[in-house]
Amino acid sequence: MGGQIPENLQKKLTERLTYYEDLGIRLFYRDRRSSENLPTGLAQQSAAALPSSPTTLREEPTLPKTYRKLELQKAVPVPPARISPLPLPTSPGPSLFDAADKIVDDTLLRIREDLGECTRCKLHRHRQTIVFGDGNPKAELVFVGEGPGADEDAQGLPFVGRAGRLLTQMIEAMGLQRKDVYICNVVKCRPPENRTPEEDEITTCSPFLLRQLEVISPKVIVCLGAVAAKTLLQTNRGISQFRGQWLDYRQSKLMATYHPAYLLRNPNAKGEVWKDLQKVMTLLGLPGRKGKPS
Ligand code: SF4
């Protein structure tokens, strides 16, 4: 009995490892020596301390030190995310980027397969369709929004409603077409009443976004709105403090700007967004079309 992991803890560990496997992380090791020496009482205490569902990669481990040896093995070393010009305040806890670092030969198809008919967070309850992403899998420019709305939920495509039509106009004003870029969201299922996705939903779904970005590896990522920017930059700082500035996101340049839905409510902000997109055009060497989007 002394060297055995209690059944309920084993079940919870299995759930968590399955979750990591769904994210494409398949290499694990266990420190047999430390777990075999774990006293039964401590093991039961560990079981009680383990979170009930495997929903987050960001939370601090709550297991006693002896169980923390169950770590993900690094397959490919990738430099950590770097944000410039000034470091932004980041959320505490291990980085979500750790998940994207460990996947070798990943593809968008494999990510979609791993996502499956996902029920990992409560957003699955009201969705009609998972909105995975759409566009050129080798795009130099990726737009990341917040989450699907009603039209997107019905059609299974990102940015196809009113805000989507405005985004399309902006893309065309840059001298591109939608098929030239890739468009996706932080969460893949529509939040009820189009509310902002909650932290647990973002934490659960965003590893799939990070994998998409890792596979596409675009030159430029444009974050549409605060949720996308805060998720990728791992910051709590308001978007107005860094909107329109070039930042580094791993191997890509990142520009945060306002969400098209915000522009529908605040048309005066269109000029600011157009300035941001002109910076993107300059960096990508795009000639653009005459005039800004109406
Ligand atoms: S939002 Fe993401 S994690 Fe939540 S159910 Fe949909 S696909 Fe799964």
In this structure, the residue with its CA closest to atom 2 of ligand 1 is: 205
- What's the average model confidence in pLDDT over 257-263? 98
Tell me how far the alpha carbon of residue 118 lies from the centroid of ligand 1, in angstroms: 6
Question: In the predicted model, is pLDDT for residue 102 greater than 70?
Answer: no
Instruction: Tell me the best of 130, 131, 190, 209 to mutate to test the pocket of ligand 1, counting ligand atoms within 8 Å of each CB and taking the most.
Output: 130
- What's the average model confidence in pLDDT over 64-68? 33
Considering only the C-alpha atoms of the chain, give the largest distance between any 2 of them, rounded to a whole number of Å: 75
Which atom of ligand 1 is nearest the CA belonging to 115?
7
Instruction: Tell me the best of 117, 123, 211 to mutate to test the pocket of ligand 1, counting ligand atoms within 8 Å of each CB and taking the most.
Output: 123
Which atom of ligand 1 is nearest the CA belonging to 124?
5
The three state secondary structure string of the chain is CCCCCCHHHHHHHHHHHHHHHHCCCCCEECCHHHHHCCCHHHHHHHHHHCCCCCCCCCCCCCCCHHHCCCEECCCCCCCCCCCCCCCCCECCCCCCHHHHHCCCCCCHHHHHHHHCCCCCCHHHHCCCCCCCCEECCCCCEEEEECCCCHHHHHHCCCCCCHHHHHHHHHHHHCCCCHHHCEEEECCCCCCHHHCCCCHHHHHHHHHHHHHHHHHHCCCEEEEECHHHHHHHHCECCCHHHCCCCEEEECCEEEEEECCHHHHHHCHHHHHHHHHHHHHHHHHHCCCCCCCCCC
pLDDT in tens, 160-183: 999 999 999 999 999 999 999 999
Tell me how far the alpha carbon of residue 2 lies from the centroid of ligand 1, in angstroms: 39
> What pLDDT shows up at residue 105?
84
In this structure, the residue with its CA closest to atom 3 of ligand 1 is: 205
In this structure, the residue with its CA closest to atom 6 of ligand 1 is: 189
Nearest to 22 by CA among 121, 91, 90: 121
Give the separation between CA 46 and CA 209, rounded to whole angstroms. 32
Residues with CB under 6 A from ligand 1: 115, 118-121, 123-124, 130, 187-189, 201, 204-205
CA distances 41 to 7, 8, 36, 193, Å, are: 13, 14, 13, 47
Question: In the predicted model, is pLDDT for residue 94 greater than 60?
Answer: no
Which atom of ligand 1 is nearest the CA belonging to 197?
1
Termini Cα distance of the chain: 71
CA distances 84 to 95, 141, 258, 280, 282, Å, are: 17, 19, 20, 16, 19
**Are 143 and 186 within 8 A, CB to CB?**
no
Give the separation between CA 258 and CA 226, rounded to whole angstroms. 8
Tell me how far the alpha carbon of residue 168 lies from the centroid of ligand 1, in angstroms: 25
Phi, psi of 119 (to 5 degrees): -130, 30
Tell me how far the alpha carbon of residue 131 lies from the centroid of ligand 1, in angstroms: 10
Instruction: Tell me the best of 22, 129, 188, 200 to mutate to test the pocket of ligand 1, counting ligand atoms within 8 Å of each CB and taking the most.
Output: 188
> What pLDDT shows up at residue 95?
53
Tell me how far the alpha carbon of residue 39 lies from the centroid of ligand 1, in angstroms: 38
> What pLDDT shows up at residue 72?
34
Lowest model confidence (mean pLDDT) among 65-69, 85-89, 130-134, 212-216: 65-69
**Are 243 and 224 within 8 A, CB to CB?**
no
**Are 208 and 123 within 8 A, CB to CB?**
no
CB atoms inside a 10 Å sphere around CB 63: 17
Tell me how far the alpha carbon of residue 124 lies from the centroid of ligand 1, in angstroms: 6
> What pLDDT shows up at residue 145?
98
In this structure, the residue with its CA closest to atom 4 of ligand 1 is: 121
Tell me how far the alpha carbon of residue 37 lies from the centroid of ligand 1, in angstroms: 38
Tell me how far the alpha carbon of residue 282 lies from the centroid of ligand 1, in angstroms: 35
Question: In the predicted model, is pLDDT for residue 52 greater than 50?
Answer: no
> What pLDDT shows up at residue 66?
32
